[in-house]
Amino acid sequence: MRVGVVGATGYAGSEVLRLCASHADLEVVVATGESNAGKRIADHVPALAAVYPSMVFDETNHVLTSDVDVVFLALPHGHSQKLVPQLVERRVSVVDLGADFRLKDKNEYHQWYGATHSAPELLSNSVYGLVERHRKELVGATLIAVPGCYPTASILALGPFLDAELIERHGIIVNALSGTSGAGRATSDRLHFSRLAGNAEAYGLLSHRHTPEIQQELDAELLFTPHLVATSRGMLVTAYGRVTDPSLTTESALTLLRSTYADDPFVVVVVDEPPTLKDPVGSNLCFVSARVDARTGWLIVMSSIDNLIKGAAGQAIQAWNVANARDETMGLPMTGVTP
């Protein structure tokens, strides 16, 4: 398959390039980066020099006239919707790592993103690309909305318990830690070394745009608070839900996780120790675990992912694999890096 990667100069886009290079059925023929057009990929991302020694970044619009089978879009919100209708009209498959086609309600998009969606007619055509929960719908999909990193970790942790009606659908608390690559490649005061080093900082209080995405997929109400921590990669989510079934124990909660994800190659259920932020780094894995506190009546669920792989580029390729009848694990790392 001939691949175009739009927004390839960002962290998620560069990760798509890296993973495509080891995928037997994906050949990148065009990579765009508006501010770096004409610059070699190898100069912008030296880590990719051996696999893209001479390819240069093109201007974004070049993808609209290129001979490609699939386009991976790694753009900030509001930008994908300008390109997707034209790609769909050309019958090019689209895998969107951005937020533009995740929410099904155009009014909710307007509420949380502060802009009117320019292609609302396509919202119903997109398939949410969280394979573990939408595998059947993804088969044959040609417009895939890749989940955000925080929703991925939160939904995989909480989903089995809400599906089984073991916790209440309101009053859920989600606290999350993320490495700085989740904030993107652009510089900001928050990402200056002197502020970031040795620091941890909450942001997006009450208004983070991943909130409606998590609520949509879980059909639940929650309070979501993300935190930026001084590491480049990794994400750790700890979520709390009020138990509705007094017979639920830590053992039965872990049994539910194991049975839910028994056939999912990228989900690892951790039993003895809770997952750490670093466990999945470098892989497309998601580590999950759970505890039940009988004293307070709360369920605690935890999950960790690499925010750039399972939280972005790896998930995009995993979803594309399923949509196109490839082995789900094709081209994706099954092991993290240690130390």
- Cα separations in angstroms, 2 against 30, 37, 200: 9, 20, 41
Report, as an integer, the average pLDDT of 53-67.
96
Per-residue pLDDT for 80 more than 80?
yes
Report, as an integer, the average pLDDT of 240-251.
97
Check for a shared fold between 2-125 and 149-306: no
C-alpha dihedral sign at 235, 240, 245, 247: positive
Q: How far is CA 4 from the centre of its chain?
A: 19
Per-residue pLDDT for 329 more than 90?
yes
What are the helix (H) ranges across the chain?
11-20, 41-44, 80-89, 106-113, 131-138, 149-163, 193-196, 211-218, 250-260, 314-323
C-alpha dihedral sign at 178, 211, 313, 136: positive
- Among the residue ranges 102-106, 153-157, 198-202, 235-239, the one predicted with the least confidence is 198-202
Architecture of domain 2-125: 3-Layer(aba) Sandwich (3.40)
Q: What is the CATH number of domain 149-306?
A: 3.30.360.10
Q: Is 286 a catalytic residue?
A: no
pTM of the predicted structure, to 2 decimals: 0.96
Q: Where are the domains of the chain?
A: 2-125, 149-306
Of 11 and 187, which is predicted with more confidence? 11
pLDDT tens for 117-145 read 999 999 999 999 999 999 999 999 999 99
Query: Which one of the listed residues 70, 149, 196, 300 is annotated catalytic?
Result: 149
pLDDT at 119: 97
C-alpha dihedral sign at 217, 219, 221, 222: negative
- Cα separations in angstroms, 18 against 27, 143, 215, 295, 299: 11, 22, 32, 47, 38
Report, as an integer, the average pLDDT of 68-80.
96
Percent with pLDDT over 90 in the chain: 94
